[in-house]
C-alpha cells in the first residue's frame, strides 16, 4: 500500500524573535495533520524541550548567522541528514538556512521551499551589500522549487530574473485564539513594572535594533513628554548590539519614564499595559506584532514603510506616519491621546480586520495546499 505521508523538514538558523515564533506557529498548526510528519533541523538554539515536543524528530547542529569557515561542514552535515531522513520537502526559513538547505539538497529528489521572511536586499544598507544580496538570492532561486513571499510588497520587490512561477504569497498570520487565551490569563500589572498608576503608556514590542527604530522612538518620546507630561514608555524586547538603548535614554533625560523588559515569553501580555501601541521600524517585511496589537485592542501607530500598509489602513485600523518623521509620529500620538472616541473606532475596526485577514488558520491551509502541490 502506498504511503501518502508527507515528510516536511524545516531548517532554521535564526534564534528567537519573529522568525522563530513563525516557525513554531506553523509547526503547531500542522502537527495534528495525520498525513504530515515534521522534522526540525536547527541551530543549537532549537535544542529545547519545547521544540522537541512539537516535531516528530528534532536534530540540532552548529549553525552560524554570518558567513564563516564552518559553513561548508554545516552544509555537508545537512546533506547527510537529508539523505538519512528522506524528507519529501525541505522548508528553509530565512537567508542563512536558505543557503544551507538549498545547497544540501542539490542533486537529490527533495523539493525545496524557501521563505526569506523579508528579503535581505530590502534592508537599509549600502548599495554594494544590496547588490550582493540580490546576486545571491537570484542565483539560489534557480535551485528552489517555491519561494514564499510574506507580503505583496515582498513579491513586488523580487528581481525580475527570478521566475514569477516560483513565487507564492502567503501573508503572515498569528494564532488569534492563543493570543486571546494569553490575554485572558494575564496577571501582569503596571505596579509590577513600577509604572506610575496615572501614566499614559506608549509601548512597543520589538527586538531592540536599528531596524526597529528604537532611537527614533526615544526622540519621539522627548517630544511627547512636552505635550503629555504623564507619558510613560515601555519597550518589550531583548537588546542587540547596534543600539546603545540605555545611553540614549539617559542622554534624553528620560530614565525615569522608560522601562525595558528584555526578552520575554508571551510578549502580547505586556500589550495589555499599553494605552497606545507603536512600531517605529525603518523597514519591515511584514510586521507580525501589528496583528497582535489588534487582538490586544490597542490603537496603533506605525511608520508607513514596506509591507505595513498591507496591515494598517490609515485612519481605519490605525495611523500611518511618514517614515522616520519624529514630529508626525508625535502628532499622531497626541491625536489618539486627545480623541478617545477616534481611538475606540480604530480598535473596533482592527478587531474585525485581524479576524478576517490575519488568522493563522489561513496561513496553515495555504501552506498545506502548497505542500500538496509539490
Q: Is residue 195 situated within a structural domain?
A: yes
99: exposed, middle or buried (C-beta count within 10 Å: 0-12, 13-18, 19+)?
buried
Judgement on whether residues 102 and 55 belong to the same structural domain of the protein: yes
Q: Considering its fold, how many domains does the chain have in total?
A: 2
328 and 198 part of one domain: yes
State how beta strands 276-279 and 200-205 pair.
parallel
Asked if 366 and 253 sit in the same domain, the reply is no
Do 89 and 25 belong together in one domain?
yes
Q: Are residues 344 and 197 in the same domain?
A: yes
Instruction: Decide if 215 is inside a domain.
Output: yes
Q: Which of 98, 99, 275, 120 lies closest to 202 in space, CA to CA?
A: 275
Clarify whether residues 146 and 55 are in a common domain.
yes
Residue 159 and residue 190 in one domain: no
Which three three-digit cell numbers place residue 330?
508625535
pLDDT of residue 241: 67
Is residue 155 domain-resident? yes
Residues 234 and 191 in one domain: yes
Q: Which residues contact 246 (CB under 8 A, 6 or more apart)?
A: 260
Do residues 88 and 207 both lie within one domain? Answer: no
* Judgement on whether residues 226 and 300 belong to the same structural domain of the protein: yes
**What CATH number does residue 304 fall under?**
3.40.50.2000
* Claim to verify: residue 138 and residue 63 sit in the same structural domain: yes
Tell me, what's the pLDDT at 54?
93
Structural domain containing residue 344 = 177-357
- 1 belongs to a structural domain: no
Q: What is the rounded CA–CA span in Å between residue 183 and residue 187?
A: 9
Q: Are 323 and 313 in the same domain?
A: yes
Report the predicted TM-score, pTM, of the whole model to 2 decimal places. 0.88
Residue-wise pLDDT tens for the chain (374 aa)? 456 789 999 999 987 667 888 899 899 999 888 899 999 999 999 999 989 999 999 999 999 888 888 999 999 999 999 999 999 999 999 999 999 999 999 999 999 999 999 888 888 788 898 999 999 999 999 999 999 999 999 999 999 999 999 999 999 999 999 999 999 999 999 999 999 999 999 999 998 999 999 999 999 999 999 999 999 999 999 887 678 999 999 999 999 999 999 989 899 999 999 999 999 999 998 898 999 999 999 999 999 999 999 999 999 999 999 999 999 999 999 999 999 999 999 999 999 999 999 999 999 999 999 999 99
**Cβ-contact 318, 299 below 8 angstroms:** yes
- pLDDT for 36 equals 93
Which pLDDT value is given to residue 1? 43
Q: How far is CA 26 from CA 1, 296, 334, 360, in A?
A: 29, 21, 38, 8
Amino acid at each position: 500500500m502506498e504511503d501518502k505521508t508527507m515528510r516536511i523538514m524545516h531548517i532554521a538558523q535564526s534564534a528567537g524573535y519573529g522568525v522563530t515564533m513563525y516557525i513554531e506557529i506553523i509547526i503547531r498548526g500542522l502537527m495534528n495533520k495525520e498525513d504530515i510528519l515534521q522534522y526540525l533541523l536547527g541551530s543549537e538554539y532549537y535544542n529545547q524541550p519545547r521544540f522537541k515536543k512539537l516535531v516528530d524528530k528534532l536534530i540540532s547542529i552548529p549553525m552560524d548567522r554570518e558567513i564563516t569557515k564552518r559553513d561548508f561542514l554545516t552544509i555537508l552535515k545537512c546533506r547527510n541528514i537529508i539523505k538519512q531522513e528522506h524528507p519529501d520537502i525541505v522548508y528553509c526559513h530565512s537567508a542563512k538556512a536558505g543557503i544551507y538547505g538549498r545547497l544540501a539538497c542539490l542533486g537529490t529528489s527533495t523539493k525545496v521551499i524557501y521563505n526569506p521572511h523579508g528579503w535581505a536586499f530590502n534592508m537599509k544598507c549600502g548599495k554594494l551589500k544590496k547588490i550582493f544580496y540580490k546576486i545571491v538570492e537570484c542565483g539560489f532561486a534557480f535551485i528552489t522549487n517555491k519561494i514564499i513571499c510574506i507580503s505583496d510588497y515582498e513579491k513586488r520587490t523580487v528581481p525580475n530574473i527570478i521566475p514569477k512561477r516560483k513565487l507564492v504569497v502567503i501573508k503572515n498570520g498569528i494564532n488569534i485564539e492563543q493570543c486571546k487565551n494569553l490575554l485572558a490569563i494575564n496577571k501582569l500589572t503596571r505596579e509590577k513594572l513600577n509604572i506610575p498608576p496615572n501614566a499614559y503608556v506608549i509601548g512597543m514590542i520589538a527586538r531592540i535594533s536599528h531596524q526597529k527604530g528604537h532611537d527614533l522612538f526615544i526622540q519621539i518620546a522627548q517630544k511627547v513628554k512636552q505635550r503629555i507630561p504623564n507619558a510613560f514608555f515601555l519597550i518589550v524586547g531583548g537588546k542587540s548590539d547596534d543600539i546603545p538603548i540605555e545611553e540614549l535614554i539617559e542622554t534624553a533625560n528620560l530614565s525615569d519614564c522608560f522601562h525595558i523588559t528584555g526578552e520575554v515569553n508571551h510578549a502580547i501580555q505586556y500589550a495589555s499595559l499599553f494605552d497606545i501601541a507603536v512600531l517605529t521600524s525603518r523597514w519591515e517585511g511584514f510586521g507580525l506584532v501589528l496583528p497582535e496589537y489588534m487582538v490586544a485592542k490597542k490603537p496603533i501607530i506605525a511608520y508607513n514603510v514596506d509591507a505595513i500598509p498591507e496591515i494598517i489602513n490609515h485612519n481605519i485600523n490605525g495611523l500611518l506616519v511618514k517614515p522616520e518623521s519624529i514630529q508626525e509620529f508625535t502628532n499622531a500620538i497626541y491625536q489618539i491621546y486627545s480623541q478617545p472616541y477616534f481611538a475606540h473606532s480604530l480598535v473596533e475596526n482592527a478587531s474585525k480586520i485581524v479576524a478576517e485577514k490575519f488568522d493563522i488558520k489561513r496561513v496553515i491551509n495555504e501552506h498545506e495546499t502548497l505542500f500538496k502541490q509539490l
